[in-house]
Structure formats: C-alpha cells, structure tokens
Structure 1
Amino acid sequence: MKTPFFFCIWYNEEYGKECFMKKRFLISMLLAILIFSGSFMFTRNQIQTAAMANLSEEEKKLVREAPPIDLDNILILMVGVDEDEKPEEGSKGRTDTMMLLKANFKTGKIDILSLPRDSRVDIEGNLDKLNHAHAYGGMPLLLSTLQRNFGLKIDYYIKVSFSAVKELVDAIGGIYLNVPVPISVPTLHVDLKPGYQKLDGNEALMFVRYREGYPDGDIGRVHAQQYFMKEFIKQMLSAKNIINLPSLISGYYSHIETNLLMGQMIKMVPLASKLSSDAMDMHTIPGKGAYIGDTSYYIIDWEDTSEMLNTYFKEYRFIQEDNSDQVVQESQYTEPQYTEPQYTEPQYTDNTQYYEENQNTQSWEDSGENE
C-alpha cells in the first residue's frame, strides 16, 4: 500500500524511502511556486520602476495625484477621426472608427465591441448614421447618442486622429500583421501583398481604413480594425514596449482628446501588465447592410444587440431614472417600416477576385511566422 501523500508532511523513519521521495517532491514544488511568484512580482516591480524612470518630476507628481482607477472594470470609448477630411462648415468631423474597450485589471480580461459607422440610430430624435453624431455635436453628442440607443454608461473616451495612429505605430517600431488581401494605394505609397509582415505607420493606417478588397465591404474593414487592435495591444503589452508606454503617453497626450487625466493613463501602465491578449474577445454590434432609398446603412438587430450587451457589458447598462425621458434602458428603439431592396455590394477592384480565390489560405490569425 502506498504511503498517503499528506503523511509525508510529518515524515519520520517509519515511512522510509517512499515518503522521503514524496516529501522532497513537495518541497521542490513549493520552492518552484515561491520562485515563480517572486519572479512575477519582481518583474511587475521592474516594469513599474523602469516605466516611471524616464518621467519628469512634474509628470511623476501628476501620477501621484491622479484619481484612482476602478480595478474591476473600466469602459473606454475609442474613436478615430480623419482630420484630413474636409468637414462641412460647422461640422466637427465624422468618426471613421468607434470601439468600446472594457478591461478588468484583476482578471486580465478584455472585451472590445465594434460599432459600425453606418449604423442607423436615433440622434436627437432623427434617424441617421452613427458616425454623424460626432459631426453634429462632437464627443458630448456621440456619448449621449450611445447612451440613448444602447443604454450604456461610458466611463471614459479617447479620440485620436489617424496621423496620431500612424506616429504611434512608428514609435513602437512598426507592427506585425497578417495581410489577407492585396492593399494598393499608389497615391499614399502603399503596396501590400498578402501575408504576415511588418507594417510601418503609414501602411498600418491604410490597413485599418481599407475596405475595397473585402467582399463584405465595411464589415470587412471592421474585422480588420479588430484584428489590428488585438495585435497592437498584444505588441504594446510586450516587455520592451510596456516599459516605454509612460513616455509615449506623455509625448502624445496633447495629440489626443480624452477625459482621462495623463496621470491616470500612466498609472494604468503597471496594471496593464496583468492584461492578456489571450483573454481578449472581439464583438460587433449584430446587424446587416441595406439601402434605404439611395443611402446605405447598417441595420442593427436590436434584440440580438441587447442580448450581447447584457452578456458582455451588463455592468454598464444604464438604469433609467424616473425623471429621464432621454435614455432608453433596454434599447427599446424600434426601426420604422421600410422596404428593404436586395443589398448590392459596391463595385470592387480586382482584389475581390483575389480574395475569393485565396480566402481558404489566408486568414487574420494564421501568420505562419512568429517574431
């Protein structure tokens, strides 16, 4: 009969060599746990110390005085705006990219929800495209529109220009991505072939903006943006980049619009080391493309959307107050009746044919190469 394992904790000569071996294994296992735990804490402390080393005294003071961050969950609206696009008089510019990022610094879980720009929503009582909300009233109207239609209370927002995205990618030395279709924009000196490769800032910017080569048009671009965001976060969380993150935040803070204080953003850096790209899930508001008249929209499936939000963003669903008639608690907004013609894809370049021929051999994740 084998010696019970826990007897070895009180090992004596009665149990002989068998117990000695088990006790030695137990001690080795405990030592391994202690070494791993110590190494993990040492690494996190190293990251925090190294990350703060290059900050000025004024910046360190901002970090010390910054309000605390909720470690359980934080919800950030990330918005990309093309500052080169000539807005109409009085317009604040249309949002080309909109994503909600929820991060839990305790569990390391990340959820990212894409909001298609052509989504047909209620903007102050009028049905319009979601990306027009920012054009009409900037971030305040965009935030209230998201709250009105999706019943979400959003903590923070970060709005960046596309030129800032390009500079950030260059600042970290480029980004490795698997390009699924040819992307050629001669006027911007971009000519990407399919495959896993390193992109500079200009190429990465075209990667997230390009849509002509995808059979599903703008939704294909949404998937490309999700893939880019996942890989960008993954590469930013690497040890060599996360140490430089405070300096990047300090250097680019004046180039973004946000209600997060710089000190709060820098304070998140040591916490960010606990986030994992392996625990990152991507979601897209359910719906489909359709034309209403001559205008193409993304028609939201409100029932499926409400189910998705209650599953992944339940803690941020807005509870309607008795004195508020502006916010829909469960997104009870109902689309009006309209005749939906057969959705027709726009005319694509020859890239579409290439994509269809190679869609079984190219994918977002199958890089076939590791850095």
Structure 2
Amino acid sequence: MSHDAAMTPGPQGDGHGRKRRRSAPRKRRRGLKITLGVVLVLLLAAGGTAYWLYSSLDGNIKGVDLDKAIGDDRPQKLPTSGQNLLVLGSDSRAGSNGGLAGGNVSGARSDTALMIHIPEGRSSATAVSIPRDTLVTRPECVKSDGSALPPKERVMFNSVYSLAGPACVVKTVEKMSGVRMDHYLEIDFAGFKELVDAIGGVTVNVDEPIRDEESGLDLTTGSHKLNGTESLAFVRTRHGIGDGSDLGRIGLQQQFMMSLLSEVKSQDLLGSPTKSYKIADSLTQSLTTDSGLDSLTKLAEFARSMDGVDPASMETIMLPVAYDKIDPNRVVAAEPQATELWKAIRNDAEIPESAKKSPATGG
C-alpha cells in the first residue's frame, strides 16, 4: 500500500526485490462484514443516544455527490431492486493517520476495495475484492481542484484514488465492470484503529505463524485478540504470510472482517449508549460516503433495508486476475472470467463458478 504507481516493485509487488510465488489463497467464508459492521454500529448509535449526540455524529460524516462529480456518463441502474456498493479502505497519511499507515509515502491510496452486490430481495450478498495491483484503464476524471485528469491505460488501480479522489475510483470501477455503483463508503486507517479499540479488540484465529519484520506483527498459530494497531498490521501484512503477495493478503483481510462483525454483534451496544456513542463518534469522523448515505438517518435506512441479509450466506470472491504478460509484477482482469462475473452482477443473476476462478492463484 505504500508504493507509488510509478514505482516498480520486485516480482509480484514485493517492493524489495523478492519474488512472489504463485500459490492459491485459502478459501474462507467471506462477505459484507465490514460494511454491515459499520452500518450496524451507526444504526445502534442513532437509536441509543440523545438528539444532540445524534446531530454531532451526523455532522462528522463527509459526503461525495457522485452524480455531480461523474456526470451522466455512467451505466444504467439495475433493472431490479438490487444494490451495488463500493467500499474502500484508504491509507491516507494525513492527520492522525500519519503514524499508522507506515512507510514514507505521501498522499493516499485505496488499500482495500470491495464491490458489494446485494441482489433483489436483499437476502444475500456477494463482495468482489479488486486487487490493488490490478492494471486498469482510468477514464477521464475531474480532480479535486477542478482540473481535468486525462484517461490513461495500464495504471495501477490503487493509484486512481491518490490522483483524483473517490469519484474517479467509482467511475473507474463502473467503466471496467459496466456496473453502476448505487453507493460509496470509505473508512481510513484512523477510523479502523479507533473502531477496533472502542469495541475492545477483535479475536482472530491464525492457521500458521505470521512474522512480518516491517510491521512488527509476530503471531503464533492459534487464537489472538488484537488491538487497533495490531489489527492494522494484520490486515496490511503481505511479507509475513504465504507468497508475500497482495493476492494472499486479501484472504487475511476478509477473515478479519468476519471476526470484526462477530465482535460487534456479540456486544450489547443498545444496552450501553455511552459505548455506542464512543464507537460511532470515532468511526464517523473517518467515514466518507456518497450523498445518498451521508447522514445517520440515511445509513440507518440502508441498514434496515438489509435486514434480510444473512451473514452466514454471504461470500466474497476476488476479481479473476492473471499475471500481466508485459509486467509480471502486476495483474490484469482475466478473461473470459471477469466478463462473466460482471455480466452476472449487471443482470442480478447467480455468479457462475467459472467466473470465480483466478488464473493468478491457480484457480
């Protein structure tokens, strides 16, 4: 996450000349964990605090008007009541994030990207992880200063955020998938850390030892309760596990999100308004959404619309990718798998098993 798009890390994105080994990541039940966790916390806080506290939280949330920023050059909305949500974890080095993100890199990038599809009926959900090292075609965008950013082919996906902000990331995902994003939600490092610390830590089960000298993370096999700082190291580590690649790290991130939601759900937040406020306050200060979710009322309404989604039935898959033939340090969307995946989502149809296989991971 700390590499510029213009930098050329070692084979498969190690950044220190160490070669990535191509190995299949572990399969886990994965899903919309972080999104539901975020929305659940906000919903509970809205119902358990006084109005003036509610107003304070409401004012914390930053909103982005996607329709205004992107314009009319967007895919059509789903012909059903299905919803698509783009969730980003950003690695901003600004403010309180400076000591958390690590490295000596300025600016911010999209560390974690999930395109979440909630089909008609909202009784299930699928999240598609987009690897940060994926080469994409960036469309023309408008930067925050109002200047135009020309289109460009073969740019790293995580560089789009730093160059033109969230609206350009949404536009890029829409162009590559043909799927319209109904909503956008972003949380930065500081908010992530504060959330974990506010709920008292998150317990994870480690299948094999993790030792990452860069982050200082050193975990033995077994169960560990992580605080906020340790949790950040856990979801960001790539040198201490598997083949040291970003593709392998995605599995850890998804495992953590499941554990985070379980921890939130296990706590009696309705019975503790003070704790609910503490969690929601730290979270909303680091939350950016589209204008359709930029208040507690809107977030609560969206959460209620997903009451029928059973976390046990959700799954997260990775965008099928293959190693780039020109630059083996990068990956590209694999065909025909990627086209099959996006087509199924556009049609609100079941995703075929063939569309879940990624050549870069051996299937």
TM-score > 0.5, shorter chain as reference: yes
User: In the aligned structure 1, how far is the partner of 2:113 from the partner of 2:44?
Assistant: 34
User: In the aligned structure 1, how far is the partner of 2:306 from the partner of 2:259?
Assistant: 15
- Aligned match of 2:158: 131
* Greater length-normalized contact order (CA 8 Å, ≥ 6 residues apart): 2
Higher mean displacement: 222-231 or 146-155: 222-231
After superposition, the Cα gap between the structure-2 partners of 1:242 and 1:275, relative to the gap in structure 1 and judged at 3 Å, is farther
Cα distance per residue 1:58-109 (max 9 Å; x no partner): 737999xxxxxx9943322111122235555xxx522121111234695431
Cα distance per residue 1:198-238 (max 9 Å; x no partner): 22212211111111121262111011112222332343344
- Aligned match of 1:108: 123
Matched residue SS, 1:126? strand
Q: 1:255 aligns with which of 264, 286, 290?
A: 286
Q: 2:343 aligns with which of 300, 306, 310?
A: 310
Matched residue SS, 1:233? helix
- Aligned match of 2:209: 182
Q: Alpha-carbon deviation of 1:174?
A: 1.5
2:95 matched to 1:83?
no
User: In the aligned structure 2, how far is the partner of 1:200 from the partner of 1:56?
Assistant: 31
Q: Alpha-carbon deviation of 1:184?
A: 3.1
Higher helix share: 1
Letter in 2 for 1:54: T
Q: 2:249 aligns with which of 200, 204, 221?
A: 221
Higher mean displacement: 101-110 or 141-150: 101-110
Letter in 2 for 1:108: S
Contact 1:208 1:221 in 2 (8 A): yes
Cα distance per residue 1:115-156 (max 9 Å; x no partner): 000111111232111111112111121111111111121112
Q: Alpha-carbon deviation of 1:190?
A: 3.3
Contact 1:172 1:241 in 2 (8 A): no
- Aligned match of 1:292: 326
Contact 1:208 1:225 in 2 (8 A): yes
Larger radius of gyration: 1
User: In the aligned structure 2, how far is the partner of 1:138 from the partner of 1:50?
Assistant: 29
- Aligned match of 2:11: none
Matched residue SS, 1:133? helix
User: In the aligned structure 2, how far is the partner of 1:111 from the partner of 1:175?
Assistant: 23
Letter in 1 for 2:242: Y
Equivalent pairs counted in the alignment come to: 261
Identity of aligned residues (%): 23
2:235 matched to 1:202?
no
After superposition, the Cα gap between the structure-2 partners of 1:237 and 1:305, relative to the gap in structure 1 and judged at 3 Å, is farther
Q: 1:74 aligns with which of 83, 91, 97?
A: 83
2:47 matched to 1:52?
yes
User: In the aligned structure 1, how far is the partner of 2:286 from the partner of 2:56?
Assistant: 21
- Aligned match of 2:30: none
Matched residue SS, 2:323? strand
After TM superposition, list the pairs within 5 Å mapping 1:257-296 onto structure 2. 257-259=288-290, 260-263=293-296, 264-271=298-305, 273-290=307-324, 292-293=326-327, 296=329
After superposition, the Cα gap between the structure-2 partners of 1:242 and 1:99, relative to the gap in structure 1 and judged at 3 Å, is farther
Q: Alpha-carbon deviation of 1:57?
A: 4.5
User: In the aligned structure 1, how far is the partner of 2:115 from the partner of 2:231?
Assistant: 20
2:133 matched to 1:118?
yes
User: In the aligned structure 2, how far is the partner of 1:203 from the partner of 1:147?
Assistant: 34
Higher mean displacement: 79-88 or 254-263: 79-88
Cα distance per residue 1:226-255 (max 9 Å; x no partner): 222233234334463577696334542222
2:266 matched to 1:235?
no
Contact 1:52 1:60 in 2 (8 A): no
After superposition, the Cα gap between the structure-2 partners of 1:187 and 1:116, relative to the gap in structure 1 and judged at 3 Å, is closer
Unaligned runs of 5+ in 2: 1-41, 59-77, 94-102, 139-150, 350-359
Q: 1:156 aligns with which of 162, 183, 202?
A: 183
Contact 1:105 1:272 in 2 (8 A): no
After TM superposition, list the pairs within 5 Å mapping 1:292-371 onto structure 2. 292-293=326-327, 296-315=329-348
Cα distance per residue 1:15-53 (max 9 Å; x no partner): xxxxxxxxxxxxxxxxxxxxxxxxxxxxxxxx9888613
Unaligned runs of 5+ in 1: 1-46, 64-69, 317-342, 344-371
User: In the aligned structure 2, how far is the partner of 1:108 from the partner of 1:251?
Assistant: 30
Letter in 2 for 1:165: F
Contact 2:191 2:282 in 1 (8 A): no
After superposition, the Cα gap between the structure-2 partners of 1:241 and 1:175, relative to the gap in structure 1 and judged at 3 Å, is farther
